[in-house]
Amino acid sequence: MSASPKSAGAGSGGFADLGVRIASAVVMVAAAAVTLYLGGVAFTAFWLLAGLALNWEWQNLVGGERLTRRIVLGGIAVASVAMAGRQGLALYAALDVAALAIAAAAWAGPERRLWAAAGVIYASAPVFAVCWLRESPDYGLLAIAFLFAVVWGTDIFAYFGGRLIGGPKLWPRVSAGKTWSGTITGVLSGAALGLATVHYGGGPALAGVPVFLVGLAAAAFSQMGDLTESAVKRRFGVKDSSQLIPGHGGVMDRLDGFIFASVLVAAIGLARGGGSAAANLFLW
């Protein structure tokens, strides 16, 4: 979930809807923080709703045939991986999503097959990742707090770093505002904030360079997620993924970086094997 001011001032309204944007951001951050603290059903329900919204936005964005059926298929996939994530059933989740993505592709028509399948995966993968990480004993809450710190820190410092330093654009054909200076500032700052969160949030006393490197990778992936969503929107000629969030556009617009970062971090936890997914991020 992005806490970045990257959309501030966008559109013809200028700062006219600044109050709405701030109010929406406060509500989103508060809901994410409270459900993280509560864990369990509340946390799962929050991210289930986010995943359902992601799938709905993506399938509407790409269009094509049998749209309602594809939205239902994607919703089934999201609900299934939310439950699988709570039980740590990674293989089951992967097979289930693959089958439903193939079914969505079959219904989408020849020009939208890959896009429809990608939407099911895009919506489901982060839901599994966060539910699986949160259910990890000992460090589940800290793992998600680490992700929030990395992604929010990256977004915020990338915005201000780019504004204050300026310089060459990162990829102007996809994102007119992103600069190399902002991206580098954001990635370094996000990783540092992630490490600070682990250090002051009760993480292992020896958490240091490896955790910082995980934060660097997650921060870089969050920027890739931002660019990927921008590229998809350009491909289909839209400015926002939807208007679900007042003043902010859609859920995809807010979660673009978090989606990539959460999946990477969960993959690191899985790849290291043994122990819990969250503990594998902090115990090296």
pLDDT of residue 11: 37
**Range with lowest mean pLDDT among 99-108, 112-121, 167-176:** 167-176
Alpha helices in 201-240 (DSSP H): 209-236
Full-model pTM: 0.90
3-state secondary structure (DSSP) of residue 248: coil
Q: What would the mean pLDDT of 6-30 be, rounded to a whole number? A: 65
Q: What is the 3-state secondary structure (H, E, C) of 103-157?
A: HHHHHCCCCCHHHHHHHHHHHHHHHHHHHHHHCCCCCHHHHHHHHHHHHHHHHHH
pLDDT one-digit tens code per residue, 152-211: 999 999 988 988 898 888 888 888 888 999 999 999 999 999 999 999 998 886 678 999
User: Residue 13 — very low, low, confident or very high, per pLDDT cuts 50/70/90?
Assistant: very low
User: Residue 8 — very low, low, confident or very high, per pLDDT cuts 50/70/90?
Assistant: very low
First-to-last CA distance in the chain?
Answer: 27
User: Residue 12 — very low, low, confident or very high, per pLDDT cuts 50/70/90?
Assistant: very low
278 phi and psi angles, rounded to 5 deg: -70, -40
Of the two residues 261 and 16, the one the predictor is more confident about is 261
Q: What would the mean pLDDT of 39-62 be, rounded to a whole number? A: 96
pLDDT of residue 16: 55
Q: How far apart are alpha carbons 212 and 146 in whole angstroms?
A: 11
Residue 3 has pLDDT above 70, yes or no: no
Residues forming a β-bridge with 175: 171
Mean residue pLDDT across the chain: 90
Give per-residue burial for 25-39: e unless 16+ CB within 10 Å, then b. Answer: beebeeebeebbeee
Tally helices (H) and strands (E) across the chain: 10, 2
- The candidate with the shortest Cα–Cα distance to 48, out of 127, 111, 107, is 127
pLDDT of residue 4: 56
